Amino acid sequence: MKQVVAGIDIGGTNTVFGLTDRDGNIHATGSLKTGDYSDGEFFIQDLANAISKTLANDFKLVGIGIGCPNGNHYEGTMENAPNLNMKGIVPFVKRFEEIFSVPTVLTNDANAAAIGEMVFGGAKGLKDFIMVTLGTGVGSGFVANGQLIYGHDSFAGEIGHMTIFPDGRPCGCKRKGCLETYTSASGIAKTFIELTEKHNGKKLENITSYDVLLEAENGNPMAIETFDYTAKILGLALSNAVCITSPSHIFLFGGPIKAGHFLLDPLQKYMEEDMLFVFKNKVKLQISELMDKNAAILGSAALSWSSHSFSVSLQKS
């Protein structure tokens, strides 16, 4: 029987999972609509049933890894995730260990992405790197001394909520000027809307960061300026983060990265301009190698394989 772990990614819209072997091959997948659930226990039971169905005779489940918003690694719980209908504290690890009797680990999605990069992607063998995930929000996972930094409460790695402008844009966290208000997908769209209104007097609505990319490809100078401005702010934030952990690499992940050279060329330039001299031209800025793969599942699966390698190795395949 092939040993697999279930890599589960709980997203705001969909929850996806995949049975993943030690080499990162995904053998079977499934999904649920996260938004359909307001009760954690119903969600856990439906998710467990869906996983059980994919476990055909060929597979032996040896672990479960879960990436989720507001994941508390130490407690194994999802805590008050602001964008989900499931409120309160959901005890995923306890319940899945009861149901499947296999070691289960949980962390937040950006941390899972960092571990995925370390186990299956471009960060293999690296001891000090940062993963930055750009999407609805901006997340991060910091690895130092070869270990993920969880912090004393497991909530470390919130680069998206570092304050860039103390009186800047209002953020969902009720503070102002957080990095993610400028460099998340909606932050990028907002910058484009603001620039277009300022320069052309046009009021735009229902714009996504993908629309901004299409506009940039069509040569719209406001769109090109939008990515330049996004890069300027992200470059400053990355140079500040480098001051703290001095990574050899920074990996970027998420939809807005698809803007390619419109974002990445100015980002590299601004980051180096802002960098303290001791760090200049030392930090490699790279796109995640899992960008076009099933990264969310692989991250959660990697979390399980990396956490349970000892206990797993005692079992026969």
Nearest to its own copies of 179, 212 (CB atom)? 179
Q: How many angstroms separate the CA atoms of 145 and 149, rounded?
A: 9
243 belongs to the binding site for its own copies (CB under 8 A) = yes
Cα angle value 208/171/153 (rounded, 5°): 115
Which of 14, 33, 244, 309 is in the footprint of its own copies by CB under 8 A?
244
Residues 114-153, one symbol each (x = binds its own copies by CB under 8 A, - = not), give -------------xx-----------x-x-xx-x-xxxxx
109 belongs to the binding site for its own copies (CB under 8 A) = no
CB of 132: closest distance to its own copies in angstroms? 12
Cα angle value 194/195/199 (rounded, 5°): 120
CB of 167: closest distance to its own copies in angstroms? 11
- Residues facing residue 17 across a β-bridge: 8, 30
Which of 77, 239, 288, 304 is in the footprint of its own copies by CB under 8 A?
239
Nearest to its own copies of 101, 145 (CB atom)? 145
For residue 9, give the nearest of 269, 285, 290 by alpha carbon. 290
Of the ranges 4-12, 23-31, 173-181, 217-225, which one interacts with its own copies (CB under 8 A)?
173-181
221 belongs to the binding site for its own copies (CB under 8 A) = no
279 belongs to the binding site for its own copies (CB under 8 A) = yes
200 belongs to the binding site for its own copies (CB under 8 A) = no
- Residues facing residue 286 across a β-bridge: 251
Which of 13, 200, 282, 311 is in the footprint of its own copies by CB under 8 A?
282
26 belongs to the binding site for its own copies (CB under 8 A) = no
Instruction: Write the DSSP string, 120-176.
Output: HSTTTT-SSEEEEEESSSEEEEEEETTEE---TTS----GGGSBSSTT-SB-TTS-B
Q: Cβ distance 70 to 111 under 8 Å?
A: no
Q: How many angstroms separate the CA atoms of 211 and 144, rounded?
A: 37
Q: Cβ distance 296 to 67 under 8 Å?
A: yes
Write the secondary structure of 260-280 as one string of H (helix), E (strand) and C (coil). Answer: CHHHHHHHHHHHHHHCCHHHC
241 belongs to the binding site for its own copies (CB under 8 A) = yes
Binding residue count for its own copies, defined by CB under 8 A? 42
Q: How many angstroms separate the CA atoms of 90 and 95, rounded?
A: 9
33 belongs to the binding site for its own copies (CB under 8 A) = no
Q: Please, what is the end-to-end C-alpha distance for the chain in angstroms?
A: 6
Nearest to its own copies of 218, 281 (CB atom)? 281
40 belongs to the binding site for its own copies (CB under 8 A) = no
Which of 54, 83, 163, 208 is in the footprint of its own copies by CB under 8 A?
163
Residue in the structure block whose two tokens are 């303290």: 276
Of the ranges 15-23, 202-210, 258-266, 273-281, which one interacts with its own copies (CB under 8 A)?
273-281
Residue 101 CA: distances (Å) to CA of 78, 300, 307: 20, 18, 16
Helix (H, G, I), strand (E, B) or coil at 310: helix
CB of 237: closest distance to its own copies in angstroms? 9
What number of residues does the chain have? 317
CB of 191: closest distance to its own copies in angstroms? 17
- Is the C-alpha dihedral spanning 226, 228, 229, 234 positive or negative? positive
Which of 53, 87, 175, 261 is in the footprint of its own copies by CB under 8 A?
175
Chain residues that interact with its own copies, rule: CB under 8 A: 70, 127-128, 140, 142, 144-145, 147, 149-159, 161-163, 166, 173-175, 236, 239-241, 243-248, 274, 276-279, 282
